[in-house]
Amino acid sequence: MPMMLSHLKTFIRIIDAGSLTRAAEQLSLTQPAVTKQLAALEESFDTRLVIRQGRKLRLTASGEVLYHYAKRILVLVDQTYEAISEIERPGQGEIHLGAVSTIAVFSLPKVLATFTRNFPSLRVRVHIGEIQDTLDRVIRQDIAVGMVTVPIVHSQIDSVPLFQDPVRLVVSPDRAKRLPASLDLQELSHMEFISYQTPSRFRAFMDGILEQHGIIPHVLMEFNSHDLVKSMVKVGLGMAFVPESVVAEDLTAGSLEAIEVKDLPPLTRTTSLILSKDPPRSGGLVALLTTFFDYYQVEPRLWPAWYWETRAYESALPWNLGRDSKDKD
């Protein structure tokens, strides 16, 4: 029996669901139909793909290989449909973007507002996850681009720095009145801090910096939410180191105050855009990258090589010649 895409979709759902019964329910199929598709795949490859252990299923070595490639095949099929759709209906389609929560909440909305205004027929689906999850999705090409808060060096990835996000030490306005305009570095050891939970990369980043200067902060509370950290600081329970992008509006509104620390070098994190070195070319991806690069004024020398070529080609098209001079008039 020839292998069909529906068989691959069913196989992936079986593994993700963990059982034939749950897969059948999720696919709105009968369990015998799901079992038949699995058997057809095993017959096609002439090998066992899963081993039943009681109520659980375990992938064989061949099953692991098929699961990996099946997911890639289905992603490529979706991308093929999208690419052809772009040809038939230019300027329409969907693009997938991944981001860590800090960026998704505090930086992404304004950029996407610009993108939507300029490309109203293109939809963006945002997938929020940890840095490693976002990187893995980009490598698998499940998403077109990702936004992360640490530098990424990887043989399959282009990483484009977008902006520097300084770290600020913030306190409530009432507490700021009782503190000097700038603190001595060693005074931090005697202060109470509201901090992020230890698994977070930002917490590890700050702990490492402070330890280099011999500072072990007294952490009163830990949270995994920017809003909770800010809320505790606002009511005067402690101070906190936070990315400036998280508290920019609070500092402007006066609900938080920033305190300088003597002898502590400026701290900053680089927010970067990551994408595959050889992504599926699409008008939607070019439009999204153009929006990001223009919004953050990214220097052309930092653009991916293929994007350089695409921009040069598009600018040379007859209907684009002279557009720059017209725009300036």
pLDDT at residue 317, rounded to an integer? 40
What CATH number is given for 5-76 in this structure? 1.10.10.10
CB 126 within 8 Å of CB 259: no
How far is Cα 141 from Cα 300, in angstroms, rounded to an integer? Answer: 24
pLDDT at residue 311, rounded to an integer? 65
- Share the mean pLDDT of the chain: 87
Structural tokens at position 153: 């060096």
User: Is 91 a residue whose pLDDT tops 70?
Assistant: no
Average pLDDT over residues 176-196: 91
223: closest CA among 256, 195, 192, 200? 195
CB 247 within 8 Å of CB 221: no
pLDDT at residue 24, rounded to an integer? 92
Average pLDDT over residues 91-118: 89
Residue type, 13: R
CB 99 within 8 Å of CB 245: no
Q: How many CB atoms sit inside 10 A of residue 128's CB?
A: 15
pLDDT at residue 151, rounded to an integer? 80
User: Is 99 a residue whose pLDDT tops 90?
Assistant: yes
How far is Cα 119 from Cα 205, in angstroms, rounded to an integer? Answer: 37
User: Is 87 a residue whose pLDDT tops 70?
Assistant: no
User: Is 72 a residue whose pLDDT tops 90?
Assistant: no
Average pLDDT over residues 95-108: 92
What does the radius of gyration of the chain's CA atoms come to, in whole angstroms?
Answer: 25
Sign of the dihedral defined by the CA atoms of residues 127, 131, 135, 136, in that order: negative
Q: Taking the domains of the chain in order of start, what are their residue ranges? A: 5-76, 93-163+271-328, 165-269
Identify the CATH class of 93-163+271-328. Answer: alpha beta
Q: How many CB atoms sit inside 10 A of residue 82's CB?
A: 17
CB 39 within 8 Å of CB 101: no
- Domains 5-76 and 93-163+271-328 are alike in CATH topology: no
Considering only residues 84 and 109, tell me which one the structure prediction assigns the higher pLDDT.
Answer: 109
Average pLDDT over residues 214-240: 93
Average pLDDT over residues 180-190: 89
Three-class SS state of 119:
coil
Considering only residues 64 and 325, tell me which one the structure prediction assigns the higher pLDDT.
Answer: 64
List all residues 6 or more positions away from 10 whose beta carbon is below 8 Å from its beta carbon. Answer: 23, 27, 29, 34, 37, 38
What CATH number is given for 165-269 in this structure? 3.40.190.290
Give the CA distances from residue 206 to residues 135, 147, 201, 242, 247, in Å, rounded to whole numbers and listed in that order: 22, 20, 9, 9, 17
User: Is 328 a residue whose pLDDT tops 50?
Assistant: no
User: Is 141 a residue whose pLDDT tops 50?
Assistant: yes
How far is Cα 229 from Cα 96, in angstroms, rounded to an integer? Answer: 30
User: Is 163 a residue whose pLDDT tops 50?
Assistant: yes
Residues in the chain, overall count: 329
Give the CA distances from residue 119 to residues 253, 274, 284, 310, in Å, rounded to whole numbers and listed in that order: 32, 21, 9, 18
Query: With bands split at pLDDT 50, 70 and 90, how would you rate the model's confidence at 322?
Result: very low
pLDDT at residue 85, rounded to an integer? 67
Axis crossing angle, helix 283-295 with helix 108-118, rounded to the nearest 10: 130
pLDDT at residue 312, rounded to an integer? 56
138: closest CA among 262, 129, 260? 129
Name which of 219-223, 237-241, 302-306 the model is least confident about.
Answer: 302-306
For 110, counting Cβ atoms within 10 Å of its Cβ (0-12 exposed, 13-18 middle, 19+ buried), the class is exposed
pLDDT at residue 287, rounded to an integer? 87
Query: With bands split at pLDDT 50, 70 and 90, how would you rate the model's confidence at 92?
Result: low
